[in-house]
Structure 1
Amino acid sequence: MSEQDARDEGEREGTGPAPQPPQPPPAPDLRIYLDTELERIGTQLRALADAKDRLQGLLDAVLAISGELDLSAVLRRIVTTAMDLVGARYGALGVLHESGEYLKEFITAGLNEEERAALAGIPFPHGRGVLGLLIQDPEPLRVENIPGHPSSAGFPPGHPPMRTLLGVAISVRGEIYGDLYLSERYDSRPFDREDENVVVALAGAAGIAIENARLFAQERESAERFQRLLLPSLPDLSPFEAATVYRPATQPSRLGGDWYDAMVLPDDTVGVTIGDVGGHDLDAAAAMARIHSMLRALLYDRRTPPSEVLVQLDRALQATADIPVTTVCLARIEPHETGWVLRWSTAGHLPPLLITPDLKTEYLDAEPGVPLAVSTGIARPDHTHELPAGSILLLFTDGLVEHHAHSVDEGLTALADLAATHAERPLKEFVRVLADHHPSDGQDDMALLALRIPASTRCPEPGPPGGPAV
């Protein structure tokens, strides 16, 4: 059957002619057709690449925000990542007041030094004008001409010119937490629907990150409060002056086992101790409480040298409790013919630091002894050293000097330099400076106890009730 016969047969059967493939345009128009198709395909590929890059940028931004735990750092990271995603020159995040009626905090990014200087002393916006539209209606907002908008309240003097705005509300647990504002794309174009969509997606992740940061802050506050409840309040140690600091680790929910203590003993000497239980959890904190309480009782009850107190403590602990490895420095400050002498023994702890009145520093290095919970059969030595009047004796835990990037010796050297620089400050201020500017990486909790050695070995006579006699 010929091709024509087949077509005729198809028409008689009602199937119609066979479909024909599309015909290319006439030869003169073929080049134009191919160029058009190639341009269309290129446009689609570029759009897909842009979409992929934007999606990857969004994922990276979500991960970056989720990696922060400090709330102030989270809020600033939200602003800067949103700016990066849409190419905005300026960004801000306004945190709503509990009433939901105005902004109580305003975090900005993108202002240069000159722009910040020009706005110095000017109160931050509280949600009037265009910014207040998101407070009234938390739907995404795009404005192409801020000054020409009916709700515009104008800019304060010195404010950089801004024309375009993209605003998105941030919700936490179903309630509006604040509003994210972006202004002025680098390409000078107004914000579009794609910009809005990507910032809305970011705002969803931002709400989760904010809630995580708030929960972390609550956990850390509870852990720190619990830890502080386990630490003693120092009694009056006259004629000595004493100051202490405890700082928790920067890691989330890390309870510690650091403690300090000092007391006047029945024989008119002063007992001081500092220790560190291994571990960073509730078990470490509980062990610290047991060890500290038992050591306090032994120190007060016995008149023996510090080494014998540590031996008795170690035996009692290993017979009655399962404790982690623990380091301790235990000392007695005793009156001497020429002033005061320190008698101490350590269980694997870092040596005390002595800062003399002429600002020289000396670590009282001596045989450290083994930590508690290692062996009760190894002798523990005692050591003695005279304490010049006006000097400072500093006991501390390793969280003050340990850093993953350098050795403990480097940390000890840095601490000695820091102590010498600030030793002439009041003692409470001195220990705060050490804790604020410590050479460690902050990954461990830290405890400090400082004593200023008096000139006299005699305590002042107490005056009559109600104040000194006149």
Structure 2
Amino acid sequence: MFRIGSTDDGDELLARLRTLTAQARAQAEVQRSRVELAIALQRGMLPRGLPVGDGVRLAVRYSPAYQGLNVGGDWYDAFTMPDGRIGLSIGDVQGHNIEAAAFMGQVRVGLRALASVDSDPGELLSRTNDLLLSLGSDLFATCTFMRLDPSTRVLESARAGHLPCVWATADGRSGITEDEGGPPLGVLPGAAYPVTRYRLDTGGVFVMLTDGVVEGPSMRLDEGLDQVVRLAGIAAVAGMDADALAAAVIKGAERVGHDDDAAVLVIGHDGPVTQP
């Protein structure tokens, strides 16, 4: 004999399904709102323009990679310091959520504010590290900060757990910077960040980037960096402008199959140097 379920049981089941569906929709809407807020934070924290001067050519590309309901915390920045030199930073916050986007804003604003007090890249990263630790956040950020003197073309660089930069010259040389660096920001109290000095040759380029450009499921980090080294070398020899190189590098990032943001900041120089 077959037992036929009552109508009341069916109605109860439908009611439960409707409740669960409504809860799922409400949760998805909350998450969607958080992503939209994180995206707005990202866009609001990126610079509206880039400084110029004395033959310096800067170019940027930024490709946010939204995976599901996650948003990354990469950033780039370029601004003129009180002494006339140009501050350049690029970095990546741990995590992929609204907290990471907000923390990215704190790091970027902190770097800018502290640069008006001490523009030495190593001291600047040390002060920013102490500031972030004082905030008590569980997040951390990797970062490279460079200070460029347009009149002498001297680049001073300090790294906080971030990727090295790529360089190339008009005479066909290219490679990866080998500065020592220190730990990520917001991890170790009293951390020191050594400063390495480079010279930006006429027609040469430096490429600052985040790991979403060179590392992902389809490509190892060393392969990705080699790819950018080749692009930079070709661009410098061919006299390609900074904007075209930045576009080529971010286009190449599609090959890594990344699930992270990708940011590129290219520094070039095509003018005569003025002796100090």
Shorter-chain TM-score: which interval?
Answer: 0.7 to 0.9
**RMSD of Structure 2 on Structure 1 (CA):** 2.5
Distance 2:159 2:70 in 1: 26
- 5 Å matches for 1:385-464? 385-423=198-236, 424-438=239-253, 439-457=255-273
Contact 1:248 1:254 in 2 (8 A): no
Distance 1:321 1:221, change over 3 A: closer
Distance 2:190 2:32 in 1: 45
Identity value in percent: 32
The equivalent residue for 1:333 is: 148
Q: What letter is aligned with 2:63?
A: R
The equivalent residue for 1:274 is: 90
Q: Which has the larger radius of gyration?
A: 1
Contact 2:107 2:132 in 1 (8 A): yes
Q: Output one character per residue of 1:307-354: Cα deviation in whole Å (capped at 9) or x when no partner.
A: 111111111111124151210101111257xx4111111001111111
Distance 1:290 1:222, change over 3 A: closer
Contact 1:276 1:397 in 2 (8 A): yes
Match of 1:234 among 26, 49, 59: 49
Q: Output one character per residue of 1:165-217: Cα deviation in whole Å (capped at 9) or x when no partner.
A: xxxxxxxxxxxxxxxxxxxxxxxxxxxxxxxxxxxxxxxxxxxxxxxxxxx99
Distance 2:37 2:130 in 1: 33
Match of 1:263 among 79, 87, 93: 79
Query: How big is the shift at 1:232?
Result: 1.1
Residue 308 (str. 1) matches residue 119 (str. 2):
no
Point out where structure 2 has 5 or more consecutive residues left out of the alignment: 1-30
Distance 1:447 1:265 in 2: 22
Contact 2:212 2:261 in 1 (8 A): yes
Q: What letter is aligned with 1:268?
A: G
Distance 2:36 2:135 in 1: 32
Query: How big is the shift at 1:406?
Result: 4.0
Distance 1:386 1:419, change over 3 A: closer
The equivalent residue for 2:3 is: none
SS of match in other structure, 2:171: coil
Q: What letter is aligned with 1:246?
A: Y
Distance 2:93 2:138 in 1: 8
Q: Specify which structure has the bigger relative contact order, considering alpha-carbon pairs within 8 angstroms and separated by 6 or more residues.
A: 2
Distance 1:390 1:417, change over 3 A: same
Contact 1:242 1:450 in 2 (8 A): yes
The equivalent residue for 1:320 is: 135
Distance 2:184 2:79 in 1: 23
Distance 1:432 1:393 in 2: 14
TM norm structure 2: 0.79
- 5 Å matches for 1:55-454? 224=39, 226-239=41-54, 240-303=56-119, 305-334=120-149, 339-423=152-236, 424-438=239-253, 439-454=255-270
Distance 1:241 1:323, change over 3 A: farther
Q: Output one character per residue of 1:41-98: Cα deviation in whole Å (capped at 9) or x when no partner.
A: xxxxxxxxxxxxxxxxxxxxxxxxxxxxxxxxxxxxxxxxxxxxxxxxxxxxxxxxxx
Distance 1:224 1:432 in 2: 22
Contact 2:162 2:184 in 1 (8 A): yes
Query: How big is the shift at 1:218?
Result: 11
Distance 1:427 1:268 in 2: 21
Contact 1:250 1:442 in 2 (8 A): no
Distance 1:419 1:221 in 2: 35
Q: What letter is aligned with 1:370?
A: P
Contact 1:223 1:254 in 2 (8 A): no
After the TM superposition, which of the residue ranges 224-233 and 306-315 deviates more from structure 2? 224-233
Contact 2:167 2:174 in 1 (8 A): yes
Contact 2:144 2:157 in 1 (8 A): yes
Q: What letter is aligned with 1:343?
A: E
Q: What letter is aligned with 2:82?
A: P
The equivalent residue for 1:177 is: none
Distance 1:253 1:377, change over 3 A: same
Distance 1:343 1:301 in 2: 17
Contact 2:74 2:263 in 1 (8 A): yes
SS of match in other structure, 1:380: coil
Distance 2:194 2:64 in 1: 31
Q: What letter is aligned with 1:331?
A: M
Query: How big is the shift at 1:226?
Result: 4.4
Distance 1:284 1:341, change over 3 A: same
Contact 2:78 2:87 in 1 (8 A): yes
Runs of 4+ in 1 over 4 A off after TM superposition: 216-226
Paired residues in the alignment total 240
Distance 2:89 2:153 in 1: 17
Contact 1:234 1:261 in 2 (8 A): no
